[in-house]
Structure 1
Amino acid sequence: MIIYFSGTGNSRYIANRIADNIRDELIDANDKIKRRDTRTIKVNDRLVVVTPTYAWRIPWLVRDWIRKTHFQGVRQVWFVMSCGAEIGNAAKYNRLLCEEKDFDYMGTAQIVMPENYIALFHTPETEKARQIVSDAEPVIDNVCRQIVTGHAFAAPRNNLYDRVMSGPVNRLFYPLCVKAKAFHVSDDCIGCGKCVKLCPLNNITLENGKPVWGRKCTHCMACISYCPEKAIEYGKKSSEKERYYFEKLICCYSKIEMIK
């Protein structure tokens, strides 16, 4: 079974590729988390968890959902993490999560995909993004081969920088940086409600036809990236920045399921 969480489509694409390759069931963790669904999930031996990298670890909301959910029949668990550059020492925390859940930890793979964190960084232009995804394809293929053959992923880099970024920096990132109050909309907003639908924490509501953000946020960037009118901004940090979501590349990668 492959379980994935995705903000702007990178991890969803990787999960679909893995599911097609190893011919296994695919589950959308976004939907589970949004509905607060922690009911037992039956797994046939192997589990692959595909997520983006948030501050050099898997997202806290994914970690917490895994902790609360009972996975029946799981033996081996592989983690596949998409990232804009690196995953730091995320493997340590994935291993600890597996120990907590009594899973056999089979390693963590890093797959570099186009940057989407518009709150801090610029996203790549379309052609550059396509090249990044093209470069990721053989890495995804290798990940699939290792899962099919039951091999553990090779241990990723683990130096002092990685340990600091996945340790104290990650712990500070959420209380200091992950806030929703900077999100706002311009007069271009048409009140379509797409941001409300996409928010995995149900943190956005429509008031008088305009989105309003609550105090919960994971900075998945789905709301700002998928806004059809580019009406959502994150303070001044997103001004004039190109929005990125994977479906922009759909002409080259047609297997991904489009968000309606």
Structure 2
Amino acid sequence: MITLYFSATGNSLTVAKKIGGELISIPQAVKNDQYKFEDDVIGLVFPTYCCYPPKIVRDFMAKAKLKADYLFAVATYGNAMGKGGDGSEMLEFDKLAKAAGYSFSYLNSILMVDNFIDNFDIEKEIKKIPSKRIDENIILTIEDIKNRKTYIKNPGFMGKMITAICKGLVASQDKGLAAQKFLVDDSCTGCATCVKVCPYGNISVRDGIPQFGTNCMSCYACIHNCPHKAIHKKSEKSAKRWRNPEITLKEIIAANYQ
């Protein structure tokens, strides 16, 4: 089994590691121009941005050559935006997979910590962890995959409507300009951790200060993984940062460094 993954703050990497198989970072696959994969089972694990798969996942799928008897995808998300809305990203992934000529047998999503600091206070999100039944849902998903279950998560009417509303937000994100609104405070040491965790190579350090380009996909890996919490979003709701405690900074760097 091959498990392809993208993870900015560790939620999706946690799930990918527990699913198992040969783990392959999507950013590293893209960097190495590696799009052809063959195994009995191939899966993708990724986070959700505004009810859609991240741009790097969408771009990867447009070029991927996957050959397997069983294809699955699992998305992590932070908050359901309506009844059944947590299936929205699978609706969109199904569309892009079919456009690329693939029919996935299993499409599911797992509720985890929402680290989108534009809208959510991380401290409050962490307090919600017990109610999200994260470990239980991961175990159920792993069993489904082991049993080669056929399942496509349905977002329902409300989820489809919210996904349609979010389409404009995703188009705005895809312009790559989000980092132009990032702020760096005096606690920055110029350590370049932000450079190493960016999956798009969008950050450089000049004169000890991070410089952000115009190819940002709003993954916020730089914000959440900064050792000094020196990077901020103008509109952030929380100064607290989140990296899944099961994942180390070293693992995020290994997965994303361009």
Instruction: Give the TM interval when normalised to the shorter protein.
Output: 0.7 to 0.9
Q: Secondary structure at the match of 1:184?
A: strand
Q: Which residue of 2 aligns with 1:17?
A: 18
Q: TM-score, normalised by structure 2?
A: 0.85
> Which deviates more from structure 2 when the two are superposed, residues 94-103 or residues 199-208?
94-103
Pair 1:30 & 2:27 matched:
yes
Query: What is the letter of the counterpart of residue 11 of structure 1?
Result: S
Distance 1:171 1:110, change over 3 A: same
Amino acid at match of 2:9: T
Helix, strand or coil for the counterpart of 1:220? coil
1:119-198 correspondence runs (5 A): 119-124=118-123, 128=127, 130-131=129-130, 135-159=133-157, 161-175=158-172, 179-198=178-197
Alpha-carbon contact 1:89-1:166 (below 8 Å) kept: yes
Q: C-alpha deviations, 1:34-61, integer Å up to 9, x for none?
A: x2x3324332132111110111021122
Q: Cα distance 1:207–1:257, how it changes in 2: closer, same or farther (>3 A)?
A: closer
Given that 1:88 and 1:165 are in contact with CA atoms closer than 8 Å, whether structure 2 keeps it comes out as no
Moved over 6 A (4+): none
User: Residue 234 of structure 1 corresponds to which residue in structure 2?
Assistant: 233
In the superposition, the TM-score normalised over structure 1's length comes to: 0.84
Cα distance change on mapping 1:152 and 1:124 into 2, 3 Å: farther
Q: State the secondary structure of the residue aligned to 1:124.
A: helix
Shift of 1:166: 1.9
Aligned-CA RMSD value: 2.3
Q: Which runs of 5+ in 2 are unaligned?
A: 81-85, 252-258
Identity of aligned residues (%): 26
Q: How do 1:1-260 residues align onto structure 2 when only pairs under 5 Å count? A: 1-19=2-20, 24-33=21-30, 35=31, 37-71=32-66, 73-86=67-80, 87-124=86-123, 128=127, 130-131=129-130, 135-159=133-157, 161-175=158-172, 179-235=178-234, 237-238=235-236, 241-247=239-245, 250=246, 256=247, 258-259=249-250
Cα 1:185–1:127 shift into 2, 3 Å: closer
Q: Partners in 2 of 1:115 and 1:81 — Cα distance?
A: 13
1:239, distance to aligned residue in structure 2 (A): 6.6
Residue 254 of structure 2 corresponds to which residue in structure 1?
none
Q: Are 2:40 and 2:70, in contact at CA under 8 Å, matched by a contact in 1?
A: yes
Gaps of 5+ in 1: 251-255
Change (3 A) 1:149 1:85: same
